[in-house]
A and B are shown apart, each in its own frame.
Chain A
Amino acid sequence: MDNILANINLLTSLAPVLNLELIVNGLLVGALFALIAYGMALVWGVMNIINVTQGAYVVFGGYISFYVVRALSGLAPGAPPILWIVISMPVAAAAGAALSYAIFRLVVQRILERDLFISLLATFGIELVLQQTMNQLFTAEERVVDAQLPTFAFLDYMVNVPGSRAFGAVLGVVAAVLIVLLVRYTRFGRAMRATAQNAQAARIMGIDTDRIYAMTYALNGAICGIAGSIVAFVFVLHPFQGFIYTLRSFAIVILAGIGNIVGVIFAALGLGVYENYAGFILGPEYQNGMVFIIVPITLLVRAWIVRRHRQYLK
């Protein structure tokens, strides 16, 4: 308790400028979470599947990016690694899409019309298998990609923005905008939205919903692949690290409400800032717990609002 009060004191009177740093860092990681959560929201909205495998796809994309960067920088040493990182992104996206397409055909398409519990169980199982496969293939050694970007310091070194995080956030935003455009303005995007609204009606209108499901799931794999290549140079890769990203994207989608795309972005940015504060004030061991507590609170508040609404109708 003393600890918590001391931390609050630090933020309010001793070094208020730290607030700025917490907020900036929170927003930067939030942009990355937004990308991952966006993919989860897509799968959830269109296919009614809670994709617990999300984190494993992210880590997988990270490893692909790591190996591509390593191979390329071996070929041409001396070139800035950032170039290789940018090149590795589409590769990681393609690999993520291919992997999720294969998993869709193998498992996910068989559980499409089943209840939510089956989808949770199946995707959780896939996650375990993927984690262990990555552990065997890539070993449990921590992997990182070094972007070799400078850190920008402001206000006499009290607010620091690592170039890698800023770059990651920019890439995350660019990727998110491209995906939003894809969903809004392409034929595929329109078919996807139609399927999400009413799969039966979409089928009657001649949309091959099975194909749309497969494409949506593969698109999510590509999103995770890109997010993974950002994770590789911002954080640390480990085969069992995926849970962190699954947990956060789940909380973000719940917070935003299913089908609320703009909400996902704001929820993600907010969550990034919120968890930085939770980690600072309560201590890092509560960071994950404080993220997860958002889920029941959001659901309770929603239930409460809905009930009030119903009473009003009476």
Chain B
Amino acid sequence: MKHSLFAGAVALAATAFAHGAFADTITLGAAVSQSGKYSTNGQHTMNGYNMAVEAINAAGGIKVGDKTYTLAIKYYDDESTPARGAELAERLISQDGIKFLLGPYSSGLTKAIAPVTEKHGVPMVEANGASRSLFTNGYKYTFAVLSTSEQYLASAVALAAEMAKAEGRDPSSLKVAMAMQNDPFSQDIRAGVMDDATALGMKIVIDDKLPKDLNDMTPTLSKVRALKPDLLVVSGHSKGAATAIRQLSEQNVYVPMLAMTHCDSADIVGKFGAAAENTLCAAQWAPTLTYRDDLFGSAADFAKAFKEKYGYAPPYQAAESAAAVEVFADAFRRAGSLDQSAVRDALAATDMQTFYGNIKFDETGKNTAKPMVLYQVQNGELKVVAPTKWAEAKVIYPRPK
């Protein structure tokens, strides 16, 4: 009896070993908003990270050199405050001995954390800081998998020009109105729209900055009514999107083309139904794109698995977060060691396709291999209408009155 128990224990230990229970763990650190104004998107970010970590571990972990590691993440709550984010990054690195960081949610938080990781030489792969000002400081350890913010709505300007040409109008006759929140991210989007619109000779007729605690944008909409722009571009996170849709319809303001960010995270279709029809929405990713990788399969496969696990369709914030973990795993494999500068160099040399899109960093650390997509709300559904390569539906222009 005693003997067999002993044998059993040995057998158990052996199988446990074979399954990697004793394998080493690479712990990534992340300060993500679990409270405060970004907590919804912070949750999407964490769900994306966790999804990828579990998939990688389930697939046997990561082989680095001749050892196999599993992944884990140590989280802190940055309370949606940049100062707190920087403090926690410092704590993850100096106190908890974390050697690799995943990014927080939002450009503001990423901006606060990047100088800390840079100082300590800690590689950070971030998925939710799109402000272009993140990539002008010469950071060597920050890598972003997403398209930067000045590209967000530039495609809407191109689309408006294309539509004008099809109508036999000169694009330079178009009038553009902008209502962009007064934060780094939205102001980058504004700069991108501005550059493209002025390059095409379009006239900017309204250039309003929405306050962070936006409540009422009717004064801006009154201007829109009077000046009749051909394209109205709005960026103000989820609240801006919801406020714009509500007040455009309530105030009877008509524009032939309306483009904005955060339509999906604001769920404008669910909230406002018909009032959201024909709105164009910028997105980093869509489940209908044809990208794929070995871990998750296609973009649609990821969306399906995510929905099964978390009970809601993945917004792009979750998809790009999962991709950030994949990028880390790939770099660990190629670096063949867990030395921080070796991993950093491997990250810089990343050239891969994920379910989320192609990823290749330029020397500033931003991903230049993946374009933005533009959705349009058509009969209550978000359909990709641009770029033409992935278009599921033809754009409806002008929006019916």
Identify the A interface with B (CB < 8 A): 3, 7, 10, 14-15, 18, 21-22, 25, 29, 132, 135-136, 139-142, 144, 146, 151, 153, 157-158, 160, 162, 164-165, 235-236, 238-241, 243-244, 276-277, 279-280, 283-285, 287-288
Residue of B41, B220, B225 with most chain A CB atoms under a 10 A cut-off: B225
Q: Which residues of A contact B271 (CB under 8 A)?
A: 142, 144, 146
- CB-contact partner of B250 in A18, A132, A151, A238, under 8 A: A151
Contact across chains for B222 and A235 when beta carbons are under 8 A apart: no
- CB-contact partner of B209 in A146, A236, A283, under 8 A: A283
Identify the B interface with A (CB < 8 A): 35-41, 179, 182, 207-211, 213-220, 222-223, 225-227, 238-239, 242-243, 246, 249-252, 266-267, 271-273
Contact across chains for B226 and A18 when beta carbons are under 8 A apart: yes
A-B contacts, 24 of them at CB < 8 A, read: A10-B223, A22-B219, A25-B222, A132-B36, A135-B35, A135-B36, A139-B39, A140-B36, A140-B40, A144-B246, A151-B251, A162-B250, A236-B215, A244-B213, A244-B215, A280-B220, A283-B208, A284-B208, A284-B209, A284-B210, A284-B217, A285-B182, A285-B209, A285-B210
- CB-contact partner of A236 in B38, B225, B246, under 8 A: B246
Contact across chains for B38 and A284 when beta carbons are under 8 A apart: no
Closest 6 CB pairs of A and B: A279-B219, A162-B250, A280-B219, A285-B209, A140-B40, A15-B226
- CB-contact partner of B222 in A22, A29, A135, A142, under 8 A: A22
Q: Which residues of A contact B242 (CB under 8 A)?
A: 142, 144, 236
Contact across chains for A235 and B215 when beta carbons are under 8 A apart: yes
- CB-contact partner of A139 in B40, B239, B252, B266, under 8 A: B40
Name the distance in Å between B304's Cβ and chain A's nearest Cβ. 23
Given that A21-B222, A135-B35 are known contacts, is A165 also in contact with B250, CB under 8 Å in the complex?
yes
Q: Give the complex CA separation of A283 and B218 in angstroms.
A: 11
Contact across chains for A280 and B223 when beta carbons are under 8 A apart: yes
Residue of B214, B215, B242 with most chain A CB atoms under a 10 A cut-off: B215
Q: Which residues of B contact A7 (CB under 8 A)?
A: 223
Given that A25-B218, A153-B252, A284-B210 are known contacts, is A158 also in contact with B225, CB under 8 Å in the complex?
yes
Q: Give the complex CA separation of A270 and B252 in angstroms.
A: 25
Name the distance in Å between B235's Cβ and chain A's nearest Cβ. 13
Given that A238-B239, A283-B208 are known contacts, is A243 also in contact with B220, CB under 8 Å in the complex?
no
Inter-chain pairs besides A140-B41, A238-B239, 4 sampled, C-beta below 8 Å: A10-B226, A142-B239, A160-B250, A280-B222
Given that A141-B40, A236-B243, A280-B219 are known contacts, is A243 also in contact with B213, CB under 8 Å in the complex?
yes
Select from chain A the residue with minimum beta-carbon distance to B210: A284
Name the distance in Å between B300's Cβ and chain A's nearest Cβ. 25
Select from chain B the residue with minimum beta-carbon distance to A148: B273
Contact across chains for B215 and A241 when beta carbons are under 8 A apart: yes
Contact across chains for B211 and A287 when beta carbons are under 8 A apart: yes
Q: Give the complex CA separation of A265 and B230 in angstroms.
A: 40
Q: Which residues of B contact A279 (CB under 8 A)?
A: 216, 218-220
Q: Give the complex CA separation of A240 and B81 in angstroms.
A: 13
Q: Which residues of A contact B238 (CB under 8 A)?
A: 141-142
Contact across chains for A140 and B219 when beta carbons are under 8 A apart: no
Name the distance in Å between A12's Cβ and chain B's nearest Cβ. 12
Q: Which residues of A contact B36 (CB under 8 A)?
A: 132, 135, 140, 240
Name the distance in Å between A298's Cβ and chain B's nearest Cβ. 22
Q: Give the complex CA separation of A150 and B41 in angstroms.
A: 33
Name the distance in Å between A100's Cβ and chain B's nearest Cβ. 23
Contact across chains for B223 and A132 when beta carbons are under 8 A apart: no
Q: Which residues of B contact A15 (CB under 8 A)?
A: 226
Q: Which residues of B contact A136 (CB under 8 A)?
A: 35
- CB-contact partner of B213 in A21, A165, A239, A288, under 8 A: A288
- CB-contact partner of B211 in A142, A239, A280, A288, under 8 A: A288
Q: Which residues of A contact B243 (CB under 8 A)?
A: 235-236
Q: Which residues of B contact A151 (CB under 8 A)?
A: 249-252
Name the distance in Å between A68's Cβ and chain B's nearest Cβ. 17
Q: Which residues of A contact B40 (CB under 8 A)?
A: 139-141
Select from chain A the residue with minimum beta-carbon distance to B181: A285
Residue of A10, A277, A285 with most chain B CB atoms under a 10 A cut-off: A285
Q: Which residues of A contact B37 (CB under 8 A)?
A: 135, 140, 238-240
Q: Which residues of B contact A162 (CB under 8 A)?
A: 250-251
Q: Which residues of B contact A3 (CB under 8 A)?
A: 207
Q: Which residues of A contact B227 (CB under 8 A)?
A: 10
Q: Which residues of A contact B220 (CB under 8 A)?
A: 279-280, 284
Q: Give the complex CA separation of A136 and B39 in angstroms.
A: 9
Given that A151-B250, A280-B222, A285-B182 are known contacts, is A140 also in contact with B39, CB under 8 Å in the complex?
yes
Residue of B209, B218, B249, B272 with most chain A CB atoms under a 10 A cut-off: B218
Contact across chains for A142 and B215 when beta carbons are under 8 A apart: no
Contact across chains for B239 and A236 when beta carbons are under 8 A apart: yes
Contact across chains for A285 and B239 when beta carbons are under 8 A apart: no
Q: Give the complex CA separation of A156 and B203 in angstroms.
A: 26
Q: Which residues of B contact A280 (CB under 8 A)?
A: 219-220, 222-223
Contact across chains for B223 and A146 when beta carbons are under 8 A apart: no
Q: Give the complex CA separation of A21 and B222 in angstroms.
A: 8
Name the distance in Å between A199's Cβ and chain B's nearest Cβ. 36
Given that A244-B215, A284-B211, A284-B217 are known contacts, is A14 also in contact with B223, CB under 8 Å in the complex?
no
- CB-contact partner of A160 in B215, B251, B272, under 8 A: B251
Select from chain B the residue with minimum beta-carbon distance to A132: B35
Name the distance in Å between B78's Cβ and chain A's nearest Cβ. 14
Residue of A139, A144, A153, A157 with most chain B CB atoms under a 10 A cut-off: A144
Q: Give the complex CA separation of A160 and B253 in angstroms.
A: 9
Residue of A151, A276, A287 with most chain B CB atoms under a 10 A cut-off: A287
Q: Give the complex CA separation of A191 and B109 in angstroms.
A: 52
Q: Which residues of B contact A29 (CB under 8 A)?
A: 216
Q: Which residues of B contact A25 (CB under 8 A)?
A: 218, 222
Select from chain A the residue with minimum beta-carbon distance to B251: A160
- CB-contact partner of A276 in B35, B210, B218, B226, under 8 A: B218
Q: Which residues of A contact B209 (CB under 8 A)?
A: 283-285
Q: Which residues of B contact A160 (CB under 8 A)?
A: 250-252
